[in-house]
Structure 1
Amino acid sequence: MKITILAVGKLKEKYLVQGMQEFIKRLKPYCSLEILEVSENALPEKFSTAQLQEHLEIEAQKILKLVPERAYMFLLDLHGQQLSSEALAAQIDGLTNNYSQFVFVIGGAFGVGESLRKRADYRWSFSQLTFTHQMIRLLLIEQVYRAFKISKGEKYHW
């Protein structure tokens, strides 16, 4: 199984990079993992709604070019559905007969464009809480790891 995490912007904080490296290492026995970053599109300090929508669509198009047509795409979206860790594991397990590649997309600080929402196979909200798009990467990779541990019936304690 191939897992791709596709995110807008570079991961900057050292503690987040270290956490990501730890889970990349832990995931090696379970899947092939790829992490792709697309550059953030610049916005002026003051911007209109139209400029924001254009900005989001430019980022969406960059992302869509990297999502394989036959991959199942999870979009992390504030307006998506929430899942428990067990439900995520069950969902991935249930899809593996039809999909060998899963792409998890994390938008930028201002959200995602509508074309990305339309392409998404599943729109997933982590929480009603707001997290930085940088921090959500670490939370996402940990949940992917946890899903594999649950699916294999293995214990997981941090």
Structure 2
Amino acid sequence: MAVDILCVGKIKEKYWNDAILEYSKRLSRYVKLNIIEVQDEKTPDNAPLSVEEKIKEKEGSKLIKYIDPKAFVCALAINGKRYSSTGFADFFSEKSVLGTSRIQFIIGGSLGLSDEVLSLADGKISFSDMTFPHQMMRVILLEQIYRAYRIINGEPYHK
């Protein structure tokens, strides 16, 4: 299975990059992982809602270029479906049984995802009602994918 993470912005902090590299290495035995970053747009302080919407649309246009129409596309959104870790493992197992060969997860920038990107998603998932920095969300997503594959393969993983 191929797993793509389409995301807005580059990771600047070494500690996030180190965590991303570690989970990417661990995942390499289970999936073909691709992390695709698109440039974020600068958001002025106290920007009106109309400016924020335009920024999300610009970032969304960049993300859409990488969406594979044959992939199962899953947007990370606060109003998405929630999974337990075993439920998330079941999600991957079900996609595999159904013949899905590529899953694309989309992580928006600091303002979230545009309506157009959300409309192109086959599903939405949420990790919490809380808002997380997109850098942290990338690490959380990678860790949960890794945990899911450990569960699928009956391998021990801390609870």
> Displacement, 1:45?
2.7
CA distance in 2, matches of 1:113, 1:101: 22
CA distance in 2, matches of 1:154, 1:53: 44
Other-structure match for 2:67: 67
CA distance in 1, matches of 2:64, 2:55: 14
- Other structure's SS at 2:134 match: coil
For 1:7-156, list aligned pairs within 5 A: 7-96=7-96, 97-156=98-157
CA distance in 2, matches of 1:47, 1:20: 31
CA distance in 2, matches of 1:155, 1:54: 45
TM-score relative to the length of structure 1: 0.95
CA distance in 2, matches of 1:80, 1:28: 27
Share of identical aligned residues, percent? 37
CA distance in 1, matches of 2:59, 2:25: 29
Alignment RMSD: 1.3
- Structure 2 residue identity aligned to 1:84: S
Which of 47-56 and 32-41 deviates more?
A: 47-56
CA distance in 2, matches of 1:28, 1:62: 26
4+ aligned runs moved over 6 Å, structure 1? none
> Displacement, 1:47?
2.0
- Structure 2 residue identity aligned to 1:63: L
- Other structure's SS at 1:19 match: helix
Cα deviations across residues 82-103 of structure 1 (Å, max 9, x unaligned)? 1111111101111112310011
- Other structure's SS at 1:80 match: strand
TM-score relative to the length of structure 2: 0.94
- Other structure's SS at 2:55 match: helix
CA distance in 1, matches of 2:88, 2:142: 12
